[in-house]
Amino acid sequence: MSYNLQQPNNGSDQSRPMPPNYSQASGPHQPYSQQNQSYGSQQPNPAQQNYGSQQGQPPQPGYGFQQPYGQSQPAQPGYGSQQAYGQGQQQYTQQPYGQQAYGNGPAQPVGNPAMFDSRMLPGNAYGPGSEMFWQASESERTTVLWTHIGSIFVGFLPLIMFLVKKDESPYVREHSRQGLNAMITNCIATFAAVIVFLVLGFLLALVTFGLGIFIYFLAFIVPIFYTVLYIIAAVAGSKGEGYKFPLVFNFVK
DSSP 114: G
Q: Is residue 164 part of a domain?
A: yes
- Alpha helix stretches (DSSP H) within 20-123: 22-25, 30-41, 46-56, 61-72, 76-104
pLDDT score, position 253: 81
Question: CA 28, 29, 34, 38 torsion: positive or negative?
Answer: positive
Dist. CA 231–CA 125, nearest whole Å: 19
Q: Is residue 189 part of a domain?
A: yes
Residues 6+ apart with CB under 8 A from 33: none
Q: Is residue 198 part of a domain?
A: yes
Dist. CA 204–CA 198, nearest whole Å: 10
Q: In 3-state terms, the chain is what percent helix, strand and coil (to 5)?
A: 70, 0, 30
Q: Is residue 53 part of a domain?
A: no
Q: Tally Cβ neighbours within 10 Å of residue 85.
A: 10
Q: Is residue 151 part of a domain?
A: yes
pLDDT score, position 44: 45
DSSP string for 164-203: HHTTT-HHHHHHHHHHHHHHHHHHHHHHHHHHHHHHHHHH
pLDDT score, position 189: 94
For 205, the 3-state DSSP assignment is helix
pLDDT score, position 18: 58
Residue among 137, 142, 133 at smallest CA distance from 112: 133
pLDDT score, position 208: 79
Phi and psi dihedrals of 70, rounded to 5?
Answer: -65, -35
Using 70 as the pLDDT threshold, list the residues of the chain that sit under it. 1-116
Q: Tally Cβ neighbours within 10 Å of residue 168.
A: 15
Residues 6+ apart with CB under 8 A from 89: none
Dist. CA 188–CA 178, nearest whole Å: 16
Count of domains in the chain? 1
What are 169-216's pLDDT values in tens digits? 899 999 999 999 999 999 999 999 999 988 888 888 788 777 777 788
Q: Is residue 177 part of a domain?
A: yes
Q: Is residue 77 part of a domain?
A: no
Dist. CA 183–CA 222, nearest whole Å: 11
List the domain range (segments joined by +) for residue 144. 137-238
Q: Is residue 153 part of a domain?
A: yes
Virtual CA dihedral for 95, 100, 105, 111, nearest 10 degrees?
A: 80
Dist. CA 230–CA 25, nearest whole Å: 141
